[in-house]
Structure 1
Amino acid sequence: MLSFTVKVQHIIMDYHSLLKEYESVVLNDLINSLSKKYKVIILSELKDFQGEQKLEVFTKIRSIDQLMVPGTSTVLLTGDTKKLQAFHLKNISTILMGENVSRMITAEGIYSLPDLILSLERVKGFLLYNMDFGYRNEIAVENYLKKSGNSVLQKPKGLLYVAGEMEHQLYKNIKAELIVPGRFFTKGDTRAYADVLTLYLLKFKDEKSFAVQVFAESLKTCLDLLKQKQTFDIITTVPSRTSINKLDSIFYQPALMEFRNKVHLNLLKVETKYKQQKYAGNKFNRAHNVHNKISFTKQINGHVLLIDDIYTTGATTLECARMLYQAGAKSVTILPFGVTQHKVTTNIRKPVLGSGGDIYNLRLNNQTGEPFWVSAGSNYEEYHQIRNYYYGQ
């Protein structure tokens, strides 16, 4: 589930950021355990590193510029969200480590999310014992691709992360909680080139049955997790600009049968047509673009779970939340399939070329959803072969 990594060989420990969360003896024990499987590199910004005499094996650096190992074999362990983007730009995958997830992910940080957000014990499970952790929808897609020979969809594993309350761009008193189950990478991002979830989200917009199925299964497990911590009275969707709401199709899948008594698919509607948000500009322009264009159809009460496909600036979704509050909602939680990330571009990432010089592109089989690579010259390659070559460049 790590964005850039082909095979993890090196672990960077951002030691002093993690000291804010853990005692030094705990971190030293972790480093010594990891050093039996990986080469451990200590990122220590202080001149004197007091933990040195307690550790058995390590290399020390004071900044990312001193790193002399390949980014695609390296993972950062940090407690500092401000470092994430800088390491992603170096093609280094990241794990944000801490015990209080809701405190670590803030509204401002959702556009530069780490590859994983794990507690100490889950870091051990993932790095030492190969346990499966990651964003719910990213793992759901991976599990779908690994389905058994009788085509039975495996139950998705993974975690949901609470990003806190998001504010309406025009009405600061209008807020809704955002749940993050996956990430979406825009075209041109080095991670988008080989990211299957991004393609699945695009195929969902095209109403491909395999994408509808996998997101229905994943949504069910999301709802099962959420209902353990909070109750929701109504489930509804962000309305479509067109006459057909593609989000509605997931609720006709058998996986969501038990939740249908809470589903109100026509609760919100587009009152006045507006231009596509991607052409509207920044988040404030997008908020003005959709302002007063959406209305509600009836009065409601209670906690509303609002489903969306891709959360970018949140302008449309938060306008929907504003209408839900006007309709009588006591609280609103937003659950998208993926949250758009800040673009990561690097000058060392080059597209994979075929023998004739054609660029390989990642595609999904329209019937099965299986990923494959194809060049303009119609040369086909297996998914992991090209992905590993691409990230190994």
Structure 2
Amino acid sequence: MTALKPVKVATIGCGAISDAYLSTMINQFRILEVVGCYDRNLDKTERTAEKYNIKALSMEQIIADDSIELVVNLTASTAHYSVVKQLLEAGKHVYTEKVLALELEEAAELVRIADEKNLYLGVAPDTFLGASIQTARYVVESGMIGKITSAHCALSRDVSLFAELSPNAIKPGAGIGFDVGIYYITALLSILGPVTEVSGITKTLNKERQHYYMEKLGESYEIQCENLMAGTLQFESGTVGSMLFDSNSILIVPEKPTLVLYGTDGIMYMSDPNLFGGEVKVILKGNTEPMVMQQSHSFTQESRGLGVAEMAWSMRKGRANRASKEMGYHALEILHSIVKSGETKQHIALQSTFANMPALPRGYVTHSHFKFQEESGLAY
């Protein structure tokens, strides 16, 4: 069997999330050849390049280098539209951190450009490709818990605490719905398929606050993003979903989110969709205690960059990628429609949809090494 030519990759943005991506892309996937990185902060660029033994590049160098086929955008969400648009217009395939863009119209433009130029555009989160959510999907598709009639997800956080840790935590795009809720929405979409209609409400409570850490003690700041989002989702399949994300409460470490699917023959409790691994528990009709399901799929540890590898393999095989621009746009439209529903007091019909790709092929774990069927393209 002839090995496929690796896809040369460069990253843009050398912030905190870049370590998770680079370590995975460089060490786990032979389909990827990471050659360089760029950040507008030159010191960050050079430190990252030295740490991972790759080149420190400029944006101009990345665009001009025809050998770099794929660029991973790890900038702040406020920069996603401009960065991704520039890369697409330069003829690069792009995988971007969530969300696709802050504004729905901007995201639609990026999808259109990618389509017109016949370019791949992938969108995080890729945690739905991990062992936990793939196992949950396997359970659902096996028919074990019957027809899924409803779903529920919820999470609490403390926005004041996050404001002390990072100034970006209170900026547009960093709200609990758009920044965190999208993990839950993507998980549900990957299992249940597209949504046809939503309703909901979004609020920013107590916008004006004061820092309580010593360095900024008493200084005022304004929260510029939502800190409460609630909604209902009508799935095309008939399933009805509910969601509640509240960052005016408390942060529990480790977080204890709720993500549950209710079926006619059982109930399935899923783990944190912000993680790749975690237990999947099922209660079947006639029982009172849940049983922990064995993992049907691999990638139980931090594997950000898995979506990049899957997209690179799809590029080489000429097929659609799983963390697709269509699903990313659909998730973003859900979030924006919940905001619109709260403003108009109406149910909002979604205009977009997506074709849900098959689950990843089932893998097995041996001595901590992941081995997959050739079709998956994820072996290393």
Larger radius of gyration: 1
State the TM-score, normalizing by the size of structure 2.
0.32
- State TM-score, norm by structure 1: 0.31
Pick 1 or 2: higher relative contact order, CA cutoff 8 A, min separation 6.
Answer: 2
